[in-house]
Structure 1
């Protein structure tokens, strides 16, 4: 099984953003040592408990402290930015770290309505225009605008020897269509979608157009997973992240991921308990053998090339241990 890491750089209660970002760098290093194929870090803005607002900065730091693992953004939220600037930034990263850079593109706002207004003007209009902006970005990455195009005489320099690999990240049929139409790789967020994921992935594969970016479909499924030596311990560790997500939905998650003890003593009301069960049903939780079986089953259902694991626990050490157990069992 080909495995990768998706990191949301979560803040744990009692820790600072500096602790969370340092833990993210250490996670990438451990992932490289364990044989994970790639490490992606997400973009969020003024989002309670998530520490990374600028993946491109973290990727420079992580790239300098790793040697071979592919690193990338999961994802750059393109409606907030001009394609030219995004291409410049990731061409710069690809120049510094040849053959290692992925550029994941998403359409989500990544924060509140106020954050969206602070980041960009006419956001909804830019979401509608995303297909055109994405095509423009691809041309900048390949430096191949037609000669009659207004941008044909400029380059998103520096031009690397190997361009960043573009990915579309999403949770809907629209994102799958965008990737298929443009012949790019596609990553589906199973852990954050209530859509028919396998059918969406099937539509991507069946409608894929070969391109200079990619000759055949390439896909990733992003899954929330927690592994421990025993099923009971894994279930216990999962409580922190589940409670934190419920607190976020209530606007109460600013202190970060709670401790296991706090999660065990929490009294859920009926609505919270329903939310808890719905979120848990999308997760992969168990001992190494159980996690491998669940990941293998999902990979078969989706016909995915690769599984990407996102793990949130209160303890950064427990998170590292989970990734290590999964790697030892699956890689």
Structure 2
């Protein structure tokens, strides 16, 4: 099984944004040592408790402090940007770190309506234009701009010796078909979807059209997981993330991911069924339990790779979770 990491760069209640971003770099270093093949970092805008608004900046920092792990965006929110500029940024990264760069592409706003308006004009129109923007981005990344294209006379320099690998991230049939029609690898966000992922992934595989010779469909399944030495400890560690998710849903959680103790105090006044409701979609348990659940998901979805997102209050608990999962799955 291939394992990788999606990092949302969470800020804990006792951290500054600078400390959280340094922890992201150290997570990528740990991932490389533990045998994870890929590390992606997400893009969010003016969302309390999430530190990374510019993955391309973090990837330069992370690439310089790692050796071989693939690194990329999870995702570039393309409707905010011109495809040419995105291609320039990731070609630059691929020039600095040859054979290691991925470009994950998404269509979400990544923040509030106010942040979206501050970032770009006509966002909804650019979402509508997403298929055209994806094609343009691929022309620049593949260096295959047709002569009749209005930008045929420019290239996204520097042109690297090994091009970045583009992925499309999504949770819908629309995103699956867009990936398939453009010969893109596809990352399905199971951790943030209530859709039938099996049907969506099969739709992608059935409609895949190779963009290059010998290209085959490739699927990453992204899941949320928290692992600890025992099931009881895993549940304690997971409380911070669960409570923070609830607080954000209620417009709270401005101070970041709470400590386990604060999370337990928060739950004292909540309905008993709320915890079970919040746990849906998150894998929580000891190494055997988590590995078994991940294996079942891989089998169900026929995924080529499992990407794991883990949010905890303590950076040590987060790295330990990834360590236990890798030891249980990759060492056997």
Q: Is the 8 A contact 1:284 1:291 kept in 2?
A: yes
Query: Which residue pairs with 1:324 in the alignment?
Result: 323
**Residue 250 of structure 1 pairs with residue 231 of structure 2:** no
Post-superposition offset of 1:278: 3.4
Post-superposition offset of 1:214: 6.8
Structure 1 SS opposite 2:11: coil
Post-superposition offset of 1:277: 2.9
Larger deviation, residues 114-123 vs 140-149:
140-149
Query: What's the TM-score once normalised by structure 2's chain length?
Result: 0.97
- The 2-side partners of 1:93 and 1:237 are apart by 35
Post-superposition offset of 1:294: 0.2
Query: Which residue pairs with 2:308 in the alignment?
Result: 309
Query: Which residue pairs with 1:62 in the alignment?
Result: 62
Which runs of structure 2 are paired with 1:194-205 in the superposition (5 Å)? Answer: 194-205=194-205
Post-superposition offset of 1:269: 3.9
Which runs of structure 2 are paired with 1:150-299 in the superposition (5 Å)? Answer: 150-212=150-212, 215-266=215-266, 267-270=268-271, 273-274=273-274, 276-299=275-298
- The 2-side partners of 1:147 and 1:89 are apart by 23
- The 2-side partners of 1:171 and 1:247 are apart by 24
Q: Deviations over 1:32-86 (max 9, x none)?
A: 0011010000000001100000000000000000000000000000000000000
Query: Which residue pairs with 2:52 in the alignment?
Result: 52
Q: Is the 8 A contact 1:166 1:185 kept in 2?
A: yes
Query: What's the TM-score once normalised by structure 1's chain length?
Result: 0.97
Post-superposition offset of 1:22: 0.3
Q: Is the 8 A contact 1:184 1:214 kept in 2?
A: no
Which runs of structure 2 are paired with 1:79-94 in the superposition (5 Å)? Answer: 79-94=79-94
Query: Which residue pairs with 2:121 in the alignment?
Result: 121
Q: Is the 8 A contact 1:184 1:213 kept in 2?
A: no
Post-superposition offset of 1:273: 4.8
- The 1-side partners of 2:13 and 2:273 are apart by 22
- Runs of 4+ in structure 1 displaced over 2 angstroms? 267-270, 276-279
Structure 2 SS opposite 1:131: helix
Query: Which residue pairs with 1:135 in the alignment?
Result: 135
Q: Deviations over 1:273-313 (max 9, x none)?
A: 54x43331201111111111000000011110000000001
Q: Across the two proteins, how many residue pairs are aligned to each other?
A: 329
Q: Deviations over 1:184-212 (max 9, x none)?
A: 10001111001111111111111111112
Q: Is the 8 A contact 1:221 1:307 kept in 2?
A: yes
Post-superposition offset of 1:254: 1.2
- The 2-side partners of 1:211 and 1:133 are apart by 16
Q: Structure 1: 5+ residue runs without aligned partners?
A: none
CA RMSD in angstroms comes to 1.2
Q: Deviations over 1:125-176 (max 9, x none)?
A: 1000001000000001011111122211110000000110000001111111
Structure 2 SS opposite 1:46: coil
Post-superposition offset of 1:94: 0.2
Larger deviation, residues 68-77 vs 283-292:
283-292
**Residue 104 of structure 1 pairs with residue 141 of structure 2:** no
- The 1-side partners of 2:61 and 2:328 are apart by 29
